[in-house]
Structure 1
Amino acid sequence: MTWAENSTVRATGRLVIVAVFTATAIQNCASSLDSGYRVPGIVVAAVAGALIAWQRVPWYVAPVVITAATGIFGWVLLPLLALVLFDLTVQRRTNIALLFSAIAIAVTAFAPAQATPQAIEISAMIIILALPMLAGMWVGHRRKRIAVLNDEVARLKHERSLGEDRARAKERARIAAEMHDVLAHRLSIIALHSGVLEAKSATLPAPIGDRLTLLRNASTQALSDLRDLLGALHESPEDLPTRPVLVDVDDLTEQARAAGQDVTLVVDGTSADAPVAHQLAVQRIVLESMTNARKHAVGGSVTVRLTYGPPVTTVSVDNTLGSASSDAAPSGYGLVGLRERVLALGGEFEAGPTDEGGWRVSARIPHPHPVEQDWQEK
């Protein structure tokens, strides 16, 4: 925050300026007015300065009082009148400021406390009063422009926040759809095999047959729960993937190379070493990063490094400096969605420029602790 934006500093600065101009008016009264008008002029100057400093009075009080006082005491109160005219023009009351200045100049010619001013003195008064009005008009316009820009910035921030919220919600729905595709397949296999074994339960001990029935019913119910959960998390099923979503990163990089992109893939471990949720996150990060590189770093190279762990799955995608594509769309909320996905898995996500001028996207996702189950045979 600059000093001009600090309300306390601005208020203090205004009080100092009012004090200086009031002191100048008082000095004018003490040195220029006749003895019969000297003390009243000093008192009026002090009161007028207090009215300008005390901004809780109605806006028209100070202009009226100082204009009337100028009609009595003359040009000695011009410093305070200049302040009043400045305030009026800052408040975008330019027509009213012109009216008060015209009245002040006219009544000064008949001020009983001073001799009738000459034409050159009238011209000087006009210039003295015109300068603060011009300055006030400039300050008022600038403040209005700053207020408009601040409102625009606040609106853009709000829209950005709403866009990020929508991106996070969309990513959560995507996660639900992807996990549905993967888990539904595995649960259906469990239900199928448990059903086959249940059909042969007559040749198995009764406790094992009961367990098989329970397993089949539980897997069938889990499939139904998955469908219900997916419907609750997303209101537009037509937007969700309709094909298997688990794609190997090798295939993604090969497709990118076929499209002419320079991609290097370095893998430590195999995808089977990581949970399915980690594999999906890695796939999304690599796909989004390579897409961004194609749009914003044409001609640059991309290096993908994967470590499947355990104990952690790590992925980093670095692209070197390149030129922006001529049809590149403005940056969206892809990184917001990636961050939401990684944080949902308890990981860490970073994205930003490198020292060499490129861009890096990286994530570190810890593996879940293994759950040990004790089975007792009956």
Structure 2
Amino acid sequence: MSWKETFPWPRYGRWGLVLLLTAGAVQNGAATAGGQYATVRTAAAVLCGAMLLVRRLPWFLAPAAATAVTGVWGWPMLPLLLIALFDLSARRRTAVAVGCSIAVLAANTVAPSAVSLWRPQQYGASLFLLLAIVGGLWMGNRRRLVKALGTEVDHLRVERELREEGARVAERARIAAEMHDVLAHRLSLIALHTGVLATRTDTLPAAVTERLSLLRTASTEALTDLRDILGALHDPRTDTDIPPAPVLRDVRELVEQARAAGQQVDLHTTGRAEQAPAAHRLALYRLVQEGLTNARKHAAGAPVTIRVDYGPPATVVEVTNTPGTPAAHAAPSGYGLVGLRERVRALGGHLNAGPHGAGSWRLAARIPHPAHTEQNGQRP
């Protein structure tokens, strides 16, 4: 385990502390040896300090060296032992740290009185040793707690990303199912009208009758292919308890349902629904539905204002509600906005949702019409 996992301070802070304590040990050792620096105790202090700084050594070497030099030369080497005990306790090796402390105290009972840990205060050194062990235990527990919290945050972040991705996949599946209904309706109309025309062979040229027959066959086969493809792409796991939006229904139906439930809704529309593509109208329905649902859940009783512009050049919707009281026993929020943002993005538009002054909430989306996008040289 490296110094980074043991000490909260930066690398150079630990180096500076160990070097400072090593220099102090050398100075104190020389003072107890009559001022001589070129001694065995000086070399032992330098070697012990180096062991405390080298990260790749076996974990027991530095504590063993610090215990040995402190047991032989007493209190001048005590600061180096305190760092070693702190490291051991932080790494959950408290029993080893206690054993080293007992060994040092026992060895100093026969050490010269000038360097003995039992002089001049009988229990002073024992208190320092105890504080080093307790401090190491506290720091180790704190480090492990921070690491566990960081791991939990990472797990929550990954889980949130997975849920958002699941919401986007579910929304794409919903779009496919809705467009299947729209396209199936239109292709069936084509097949119906071509079939009616093809029966009037007496009034149409043979070439036209043949082309109508081919057109009817092609539209019928397209319906079959569309059903097969969407059936293969359908994933039962993406099903939700919320039914898909009714195909090509007007938002007025949603507003009437909300008003019937007691919700105050003010609707303003510009243009005709037929001006917007079918995919835009489906997205519009889902956006208004989500806006009304959120207003009921998070601002019960607050008036809601809906503005719809079918365009061209773009389909625009804005749902705004004033502050209100959150509904009691409201279901937890899901990932509806994530799915709607995926739907709007797939259509080449953008969606904004968030606070809108004085505690209000605003959901707004703008989806450019395909013809307008092509005229401006943009990709839909």
Do they fold alike, i.e. is TM over 0.5? yes
1:61 to partner: Cα distance:
0.3
Residues 243 and 82 (structure 1 numbering): CA distance in 2 closer, same or farther, change over 3 Å?
Answer: closer
1:292 aligns with 2:294: yes
| Structure-2 separation of matches of 1:166 and 1:243 | 19
Partner of 1:357: 359
Partner of 1:19: 19
Partner of 1:173: 173
Residues 143 and 345 (structure 1 numbering): CA distance in 2 closer, same or farther, change over 3 Å?
Answer: same
1:307 aligns with 2:309: yes
1:112 to partner: Cα distance:
5.2
Asked whether the 8 Å contact 2:350–2:367 carries over to 1, the reply is yes
1:370 to partner: Cα distance:
7.8
Asked whether the 8 Å contact 1:176–1:233 carries over to 2, the reply is no
Partner of 2:340: 338
1:165 to partner: Cα distance:
1.5
| Structure-2 separation of matches of 1:101 and 1:371 | 78
Partner of 1:325: 327
Residues 363 and 116 (structure 1 numbering): CA distance in 2 closer, same or farther, change over 3 Å?
Answer: closer
1:109 to partner: Cα distance:
2.2
1:246 is paired with a residue whose SS is: coil
2:331 is paired with a residue whose SS is: coil
Moved more, 309-318 or 352-361: 352-361
Partner of 2:193: 193
Partner of 1:91: 91
1:50 to partner: Cα distance:
0.8
| Structure-2 separation of matches of 1:16 and 1:216 | 87
| Structure-1 separation of matches of 2:33 and 2:233 | 83
Partner of 2:101: 101
1:369 is paired with a residue whose SS is: helix
Asked whether the 8 Å contact 2:74–2:117 carries over to 1, the reply is no
Structure with the larger helix share: 1
1:32 to partner: Cα distance:
2.5
Asked whether the 8 Å contact 1:182–1:244 carries over to 2, the reply is no
Asked whether the 8 Å contact 2:268–2:306 carries over to 1, the reply is yes
1:192 to partner: Cα distance:
0.6
| Structure-2 separation of matches of 1:128 and 1:272 | 84
1:34 to partner: Cα distance:
4.2
Gapped runs of 5+ residues in structure 2? Answer: 375-380
> Over residues 63-110 of structure 1, what are the superposed CA-to-partner deviations in whole Å (9 max), with x where a residue is unaligned?
001101112111111110010011111112112111111111211222
Give the alignment's Cα RMSD to 1 decimal: 2.5
Residues 8 and 199 (structure 1 numbering): CA distance in 2 closer, same or farther, change over 3 Å?
Answer: farther
Residues 178 and 297 (structure 1 numbering): CA distance in 2 closer, same or farther, change over 3 Å?
Answer: same
| Structure-2 separation of matches of 1:203 and 1:28 | 120
1:358 to partner: Cα distance:
2.2
| Structure-1 separation of matches of 2:136 and 2:71 | 23
Partner of 1:63: 63
1:168 is paired with a residue whose SS is: helix
Q: How many residues align?
A: 368
* Letter aligned with residue 296 of structure 1: H
2:85 is paired with a residue whose SS is: helix
| Structure-2 separation of matches of 1:182 and 1:312 | 20
Asked whether the 8 Å contact 2:267–2:306 carries over to 1, the reply is yes
2:249 is paired with a residue whose SS is: coil
Asked whether the 8 Å contact 2:245–2:285 carries over to 1, the reply is no
Residues 215 and 351 (structure 1 numbering): CA distance in 2 closer, same or farther, change over 3 Å?
Answer: same
Asked whether the 8 Å contact 1:82–1:129 carries over to 2, the reply is yes
| Structure-2 separation of matches of 1:306 and 1:13 | 62
* Letter aligned with residue 339 of structure 2: G
Residues 38 and 257 (structure 1 numbering): CA distance in 2 closer, same or farther, change over 3 Å?
Answer: same
* Letter aligned with residue 196 of structure 1: V
Asked whether the 8 Å contact 1:168–1:337 carries over to 2, the reply is yes
* Letter aligned with residue 250 of structure 2: D
Moved more, 54-63 or 27-36: 27-36
Partner of 1:375: none
* Letter aligned with residue 268 of structure 1: T
1:49 aligns with 2:49: yes
> Over residues 281-329 of structure 1, what are the superposed CA-to-partner deviations in whole Å (9 max), with x where a residue is unaligned?
0100110111011011112221111111111111111112112112112
Partner of 1:258: 260
2:363 is paired with a residue whose SS is: strand
| Structure-1 separation of matches of 2:355 and 2:58 | 55
Moved more, 78-87 or 124-133: 124-133
1:350 to partner: Cα distance:
1.5
Gapped runs of 5+ residues in structure 1? Answer: 373-378
* Letter aligned with residue 206 of structure 2: A
